[in-house]
Structure 1
Amino acid sequence: MPDRAVNASAARPPMRLLMLAGAAGLAVAACGDRRPSSDPEPLQPAAPPAGPLADPVLDRAAILAAVDEAASRTAAGLPPPSVDPLANRRFRMRIAFGCLGPEPAPPKDVVDAGAPRWSRGPDGRSIRLRFTPADWTGGDATGPAVEGFERVGGVWVNQPWMRAEGCPTPGLPVLDAFALPAPPPVALALLQAEGASRLGRADDRAFTLTLRGQGDEPAPAPAQGYRLVLEGRLTPWAGGRVIRCRVSRADARPPCAVGVALDRLAYEDGATGETLSEWRPG
């Protein structure tokens, strides 16, 4: 019987060859399974634009919050910041008025300059809005006059404890309110440098507007009063500060005035926000 025995080492390929063949097969399989991906590469976020972002316009709430801080520091005897962060910031202050109806003429010993008002015309059919800046060229409740400005006008910020721009909740009638002690004043000082715009000058004409009804109808009374709108830039005016406060008595909040340079003054309807009239430099 012939010998059928086979030399195993001769019939079996060397182990090194098997390993190489296996590696090659894996490489081929990997290449065969690789398919182009349908998902795009993730986008990198765009770089932010160069340069600082524009500062937002400061509204009534922001200005009154800054006044509160300045009054607190003054009352505590603390020095103001070495650099005023409010300097040259844009602002827009709205002052609601006439919320309880037409305002009668104040008593003779009450000066109404610096506060907007509205009243009926002599015929009872038209409505007249009027605002005259107070004359603070010689000084105001927060201190003496400062150098560098030809004129300083003043406007009182009514309800300085209220951040909202609309009318307050009705309270005492206006006639009774005149007899009450005046609240701690907060005001805007309208600054006019030599040769600057005459907008808001204390010695100029008043800002007046007459409203008439349709046809023979009388002008309707406003549903929520009117608003005086003052826009411009906060301006350092007393020792490099935008807000100047003065301690008048230890048990009361110091009065404060905010230095501003106006570039727009307007009347708005208190209910709709519609601009009724406006004034600009020039």
Structure 2
Amino acid sequence: MTRADLIALAAQAADAVAAGQALPKTIGDAAGQRFELRLPFGCQGPTEAGSDAAMRWRYDEGAKVLRVHVSPVAWTRADILDAPDQAIGGNVAGDAGGNVVEGFWIPRPWTASETCPAAQDSPAPAGADPVTLPGQTLAIAQFFDGDGARQGQRNGKPYETVVRMAPEEVRAERGFQLRIDGRIADIPGQGPVSCRQPAGAEQRPICIVAIAMDHVAIDNPVTGKTLATWDVTTARVADR
């Protein structure tokens, strides 16, 4: 399954939830299928020193060194499943019961593109009202039940790599890509996808697709090279 497939899967679930209907069988059938997803990040260029952005990069031209930092989002199950009156999106360490969920928001879930968006050449016309962007609405997440295996859980530890790189291999507007592969899993007791509308029927459903990650990698879209790979199943990392 690709990014487009995951978006389509979540869209089916969102449509059913918004209509007050049962989830279609195709959603349950997705459990166990393999997927590969690329998430572009750093599309606005390098961050300033001291930035706490969850997904960021910096390039030292003098030393010709690239530093990349990617932190998964951590939720509790209550944040995204059991407490519809609570907002999704906090970075937390987990609840006392150990029901930890870690994953990533899928940016711009209205497009199948896995690259940074093209620069906008036409600014908003003078006098136009500012555009208010909606909150995140689609995420992939790995569930670590209190009684289940914790293999692959990051516990707040980011994916980080430091790589020597020539200046021509870095283009700020292209950013980098987080590549994740694994299989579609089941949210305990709910199936592969869960959607909810914490603000009511007029809100676009917020959906979570359950996954089991095998590998996480950071790719350079300029060169097509993989900068670092983590084997989540064994907690190994191999920088390239």
**TM-score strictly above 0.5:** yes
How far 1:166 moved relative to its partner? Answer: 1.4
Q: In 1, Cα distance between the equivalents of 2:50 and 2:108?
A: 18
2:16 counterpart (61, 73, 80): 73
Counting strand residues as a fraction of each chain, which structure ranks higher? 2
The alignment yields a C-alpha RMSD, in angstroms, of 3.3
Q: Would you say 1:198 and 2:121 are equivalent positions?
A: no
How far 1:195 moved relative to its partner? Answer: 5.7
Q: Would you say 1:92 and 2:56 are equivalent positions?
A: no
1:45-56 to 2 correspondences below 5 Å: none
Deviation digits for residues 122-174 of structure 1 (CA, Å, limit 9, x no counterpart): 9785321111112213433454499x9753112111111110211212249xx
Cα pair distance change 1:239/1:104, threshold 3 Å = farther
Cα pair distance change 1:121/1:244, threshold 3 Å = farther
1:227-238 to 2 correspondences below 5 Å: 227-238=177-188
1:62 is aligned to 5
Q: In 2, Cα distance between the equivalents of 1:269 and 1:134?
A: 22
2:105 is aligned to 156
Q: TM-score, normalising length from structure 2?
A: 0.74
The more displaced of 252-261 and 205-214 is 205-214
Deviation digits for residues 174-225 of structure 1 (CA, Å, limit 9, x no counterpart): xxxxx944434210112235563532x24142100112235xx797445622
What is the SS of the residue equivalent to 1:140? helix
2:75 is aligned to 136
Cα pair distance change 1:75/1:202, threshold 3 Å = farther
User: Is the CA contact 2:41–2:56 (under 8 Å) kept in the aligned structure 1?
Assistant: yes
Higher relative contact order (CA 8 A, sep 6+): 2
Deviation digits for residues 1-49 of structure 1 (CA, Å, limit 9, x no counterpart): xxxxxxxxxxxxxxxxxxxxxxxxxxxxxxxxxxxxxxxxxxxxxxxxx
Q: TM-score, normalising length from structure 1?
A: 0.64
Q: Would you say 1:263 and 2:214 are equivalent positions?
A: yes
Q: In 1, Cα distance between the equivalents of 2:120 and 2:81?
A: 29
Q: In 1, Cα distance between the equivalents of 2:101 and 2:144?
A: 6
Q: In 1, Cα distance between the equivalents of 2:49 and 2:106?
A: 19
When the two structures are aligned, how many residues end up with a matched partner?
Answer: 210
Give the counterpart letter for 2:142 in structure 1: L
User: Is the CA contact 1:128–1:211 (under 8 Å) kept in the aligned structure 2?
Assistant: yes
User: Is the CA contact 2:176–2:220 (under 8 Å) kept in the aligned structure 1?
Assistant: yes
The runs of at least 4 aligned residues of structure 1 exceeding 6 Å deviation read none
Give the counterpart letter for 2:193 in structure 1: I
Q: In 2, Cα distance between the equivalents of 1:234 and 1:138?
A: 18
1:254 counterpart (205, 225, 229): 205
Q: In 2, Cα distance between the equivalents of 1:182 and 1:106?
A: 27
Deviation digits for residues 81-115 of structure 1 (CA, Å, limit 9, x no counterpart): 367111111111110112231134899xxx854xx
1:210 counterpart (162, 170, 186): 162
Q: In 2, Cα distance between the equivalents of 1:122 and 1:140?
A: 41
Give the counterpart letter for 1:261 in structure 2: A
How far 1:238 moved relative to its partner? Answer: 4.4
Q: In 2, Cα distance between the equivalents of 1:106 and 1:182?
A: 27
